[in-house]
Chain A
Amino acid sequence: MLPSSFLKRVSCSLIRVALLSICFVVIAKSAAGQALLPQELNLPDVRGGTFQVANKHPGLFLVAFLSVMSERTDSPSLRQSLALSSMQRQYSAKGLSVVAVDTSSLLVHRSIARQEIANVATNWHMDFTVIDGTNGMLLGRFGRTDDSPTLLLVDGSGRILHIWHGFTRPAYLAQAIERELGGPLSRIPDLRPSTR
């Protein structure tokens, strides 16, 4: 027969595991991201200063969690940067702000000097704000540990309108943006990813 103290310890452990599981579920649901408050983006810009949401048009944010320091020039994160620059160029006048949160520290498992990130962001012509998310909560919620990007389209109240995992082609980004800001692609049903 097992001693009662042992049974108590086991039951306590089980309760802890259950509570932990509940916590994980809650955290995971939170990470799935029903909201991303724009002011959470008020973080250091790797090229100097601090990004201030208040200075931006309140309309729409395309937030990209990507690894600036990917080693391969054809990594999904670096490939994605072209479409992000393009969206910034085409829709900023209509109220879109494109912001990238650098997730490099999750990929390389070390802290990276901001200067290093700034240099690489410049090399790859990231013509949008790149913020250092190392000290914020954002990386834990949306960052990935590989070099694939996660993209969020967020409205001014923080509501996540779209979320994309992995490299996303410009047409899909443009259609989601045009649904909010207007444009020809908003008038047709959702584009279907190719199934080739």
Chain B
Amino acid sequence: MKNHFLIRRSTSYTAKRLLILMICLGLFSPAIYAADQYVNCGAASSGNADGSESNPWNTIDPLRTITFAAGDHIYFARGTTCSIATLFAPLGSGNATSGSIIVDAYTPAGSTASALPIISAAGSTANAVIKLSNQQYWELNNLELDGGVHYGLYVSNTTTTPLTHLHFTGMVVQGATWTMTQRTDSGEVFITSSGKGGTLNDVLVSHVQAGGSTVSEGIYVQAGGANQTTGQTYGSEVVVENSTAHDVYGDGILVVTADGGILQNNIVYNSGTCLSNCGTSTPGGLWEWNCPNCIVEDNESYANQTYGSGDGGDYDLDASNSNNIIQDNYGHDAGGYCVMLFSSNGKVNAGDIIRDNTCSHNEQKNAPYNEGEIYVDSDAGSSIDGGQITGNTLYWSPNPSQASRFAILTIHGIYSGADTTIENNTIYAETNPNMVWTTVRTASPTMLLDSNQYILQETGATPVWATGEDDADPAKPIPLNYYTNLDNNSADPQSFNGNTGQDVDSTFQGPS
């Protein structure tokens, strides 16, 4: 009897629990439903589609209403294309404890396709292909995004709340249709914190290819809040690496308002292809602005152009960039400079280092502008404090029609604080008499040039230490720099401006 009672009670209890469980399943089905979603846009329509791997969706639409949660995965089939008419803005955020929401590619059973899955907004009016707004802990991997009007991938923080962990890896983003009319009005990969005080942190762009369009930016990361004269906020842990930006109207890769950002091992080419009507702010290949303590290393940047007279260079260490390092980069065949250090907006660029870079055959633009392979400058009210330009190898053969306008190493502008040193650089010149051009406008601190080598290859060329008209107190070369003329012409000077010289016959001579 007792046992029977227990059994009856147990049966009833179990039934109630099952009922509650079923109700819960019904109430909370979206969250459970979301866990793993498979999309195979190459699959035939089926009434059985449920987003499982065996019965994947064949359109992206069912994903639009799901609020994804930490640990969820979305898989797209390799070798397939999902066409969309409106932008895809998946909902939800992951978190630090339970993990990210991860989008990735998968290979359906029986498939041998290795091509990245494509989400294509080509031919539509979708403003972007994928948009993540005020969301965090997302990882998008191994996906191609085609089309969009202003953007391919658009990620934004419009709040004052910091957002974190936004990772984009192994992606191709291309073919947005907008035609740039001013800087940052569009971009293939466009990641921005536009709310005052808001930030984006732990942002990773790795092995991403972006470009092939007429938009402004290839890869753009604005990690800090909206630009403010005081109280500017900075995002942190921003890394753009192993990525390629190419063939865009404006900038190749641009990182702004990030503290300690790293731009490494990227390839940028054919940026700045706009010819006209793209605004007055001119483009650069790979550059940073308002990016304290940032590092740019091991990149290659080439064949960049400009739609104005300035810029169109390979690397630009621009305004409000203190304690930056630009090292071991290769820049070549650009319309503009190889590396620029530029201070503006009334700020001081302090402690910046440009070292061990290789620069070749830049300044090919047909515009009269005094730059050089390395170009240091500041505008009124701004200055450069304690810069170091060291160990760079520069090969100089600019656009012949403009050769006389350029110097190989142009030092201009206003300096404050510590001396700026230029040492141990090796400069090879095919043409052009202007080895170094200084128009320093302050008496102290000064410019220290030490142990640099100038090697001329032009018959009869005479090295010239040029100064400009606004040179109130030009830096003087000190007699520890060397020049070598390789043509063995007895008419060549054996020294210039106090520098030790030697005239040899086609043999490289290092310093003694």
A residues whose Cβ falls under 8 Å from a Cβ of B: 47, 73-74, 78-79, 81-83, 85-86, 89-90, 115, 118-119, 121-125, 169-171, 174, 184-185, 187-189, 191-192, 194, 196
- The residues in B between 345 and 396 inclusive whose CB is less than 8 angstroms from any CB of A are 355-356, 358, 360-361, 391, 393, 395
B430 lies within 8 A of A187 (CB): yes
8 of the cross-chain contacts (CB-CB < 8 Å) are: A86-B267, A90-B302, A115-B114, A119-B107, A124-B207, A125-B170, A174-B330, A187-B428
A74 touching B241, Cβ below 8 Å = yes
Contact status B300-A170, CB under 8 Å: yes
Contact A79 B265 (CB under 8 A): yes
What are the 3 A-B residue pairs with the smallest beta carbon separation, nearest first? A194-B356, A171-B330, A171-B358
Q: Given the known A-B contacts A121-B114, A188-B395, A194-B328, are A86 and B300 also in contact in the complex, defined by CB atoms under 8 Å? A: yes
Q: Which residues of A contact B328 (CB under 8 A)?
A: 169, 194
CB contacts (< 8 Å) of B302 on chain A: these are 90
A192 and B430 CA atoms in complex are apart in Å by 20
Contact-size category for B: 35 or more
Could you tell me which residues of chain B, from 102 to 133, have a CB within 8 Å of some CB in chain A?
A: 105, 107, 112, 114-116
In whole Å, how far is A113's beta carbon from the nearest beta carbon of chain B? 10
Our pick among A82, A115, A185 for the contact of B266 (Cβ within 8 Å) is: A82
Instruction: Considering the complex, give the chain A residue whose CB is closest to the CB of B115.
Output: A122
Q: Mark B320-350, 1 if CB is under 8 A from A, else 0.
A: 0000000110101000000000000000000
Does A85 lie within 8 Å of B356, measured CB to CB? no
Q: Is the CB of B267 within 8 A of A169?
A: no
Q: Tell me, rounded to whole Å, the shortest Cβ–Cβ distance linking B99 to chain A.
A: 18
Q: Which residues of B contact A184 (CB under 8 A)?
A: 332, 360-361, 395, 397
- Alpha-carbon distance between A82 and B245 when the two chains are bound, in angstroms: 12
Inter-chain contacts of A74 with B (CB < 8 A): 206, 241-242
Instruction: Give chain A nearest CB distance to B363 CB in angstroms.
Output: 12
- Is A196 a contact partner of B356 (Cβ separation < 8 A)? yes
Interchain CA distance A40-B360 in the complex, whole Å = 35
**B508/A185 in contact, CB under 8 A:** no
Which chain A residues border B309 with CB–CB below 8 Å? none
Q: Output the least CB separation between B232 and chain A (Å).
A: 30
Write the nearest CB–CB distance from A2 to chain B, whole angstroms: 62
Assess whether B360 is in contact with A185, with CB atoms less than 8 Å apart: yes
Q: How far is the CA of A121 from the CA of B330 in the complex (A)?
A: 25
Given contacts A86-B300, A118-B114, A123-B170, whether A73 and B242 have CB atoms under 8 Å apart is yes
A169 / chain B contacts, CB cutoff of 8 Å? 298, 328, 330
Contact of A79 among B209, B242, B300 (CB under 8 A): B242
A86-B243 Cα distance, complex, nearest whole Å: 11
Contact A82 B265 (CB under 8 A): yes
Contact status A73-B355, CB under 8 Å: no
Determine whether B439 belongs to the interface, using a CB cutoff of 8 Å to chain A.
Answer: no
Q: Is B172 part of the binding interface, using a Cβ–Cβ cutoff of 8 Å? A: yes
Task: Say yes or no: is B410 at the interface (Cβ < 8 Å to chain A).
Answer: no
Report if B179 contacts A (CB, 8 A).
no
Residues in A with CB closer than 8 Å to B114 are 47, 115, 118-119, 121-122
In chain A, what residue has the closest Cβ to B112? A115
Of A78, A119, A171, which one neighbours B207 at CB under 8 angstroms?
Answer: A78
Which residue numbers of B lie inside 8 Å of A, CB to CB? Answer: 78, 105, 107, 112, 114-116, 141-142, 169-170, 172, 206-207, 209, 241-242, 244, 265-267, 269, 298, 300, 302, 327-328, 330, 332, 355-356, 358, 360-361, 391, 393, 395, 397, 428, 430, 457, 508
Q: How far is the CA of A89 from the CA of B244 in the complex (A)?
A: 12
What is the CA–CA distance of A171 and B391 in the complex, to the nearest angstrom?
15
CA distance A186 to B112 in the complex (A): 43
Measured in the bound complex, the distance between the Cα atoms of B406 and A68 in whole Å is 44
A73 and B244 contacting across the interface, CB-CB below 8 Å: no
Q: Is the CB of B107 within 8 A of A115?
A: yes
Which A residues lie within 8 Å of B142 (CB)?
A: 122-123
Q: Is the CB of A124 within 8 A of B327?
A: no
Neighbouring A residues of B241 by C-beta, 8 Å: 74
Q: Would A123 and B327 count as touching, CB distance under 8 A?
A: no
The minimal Cβ–Cβ distance linking B77 to chain A, given in whole angstroms, is 12
What B residues does A171 contact at CB under 8 A? 300, 330, 358
Do B244 and A125 touch (CB < 8 A)?
Answer: yes
Distance, CA A49 to CA B428, complexed state (A): 46
Which residues of the partner chain B approach A73 to less than 8 Å between Cβ atoms?
169, 206-207, 242
Q: What are the residues of chain B within 8 A of A86 when measuring CB–CB?
A: 267, 269, 300
Residue of A nearest to B143 (CB): A123
Q: What's the Cα separation between A191 and B311 when bound, in Å? A: 26
Return chain B residues, CB-CB under 8 Å to A90.
Answer: 302
- Residues A85 and B267 in contact in the complex (CB < 8 Å), given A170-B300, A185-B395: yes
Name A48's closest neighbour in chain B (CB-CB).
Answer: B112
Q: Is the CB of B207 within 8 A of A194?
A: no
Q: Which of A85, A89, A185, A194 contacts B327 (CB 8 A)?
A: A194
Nearest-neighbour CB distance to chain B for A68, whole angstroms, equals: 12
- Report B-chain residues with C-beta under 8 Å of the C-beta of A170: 267, 300, 330
Please measure, in the bound complex, the distance between the C-alpha atom of A124 and the C-alpha atom of B169, giving whole angstroms.
9
Q: How far is the CB of A129 from chain B (nearest CB, A)?
A: 14
In the complex, besides A73-B206, A170-B330, 12 extra interface pairs with C-beta distance below 8 angstroms are A79-B298, A82-B267, A83-B267, A85-B244, A86-B269, A118-B114, A119-B78, A122-B116, A123-B142, A185-B358, A188-B428, A196-B391
A contact residues around B330 at 8 Å (CB):
169-171, 174
Q: In the complex, are the beta carbons of B207 and A125 less than 8 A apart?
A: yes
> Using Cβ atoms and an 8 Å threshold, which residues of chain B touch A188?
393, 395, 428
**B112: A residues at CB distance < 8 A:** 115
Minimum CB–CB distance for A87 against chain B, Å? 10
Q: How far is the CA of A119 from the CA of B117 in the complex (A)?
A: 11
Distance between A167 CB and nearest chain B CB, rounded to angstroms:
8
Bound form: Cα–Cα A187–B397 in Å: 11
Give A112 to B234 CA distance when docked, in angstroms: 44
The smallest beta-carbon distance between A40 and chain B, in angstroms, is: 25
In the complex, which residues of chain B have a beta carbon less than 8 angstroms from the beta carbon of A191? Answer: 358, 393
A194 to B325 alpha-carbon distance, docked (Å) = 14
Docked complex Cα distance between A79 and B267 (Å)? 11
Task: Kindly provide the distance from the CB of B315 to the nearest chain A CB, expressed in whole angstroms.
Answer: 13
B393 near A196 with CB under 8 A, answer no
Q: Please, which residues of chain B bring their CB within 8 A of the CB of A78?
A: 207, 242
Across the interface, B105 reaches (CB within 8 A) one of A79, A85, A123, A125, namely A123
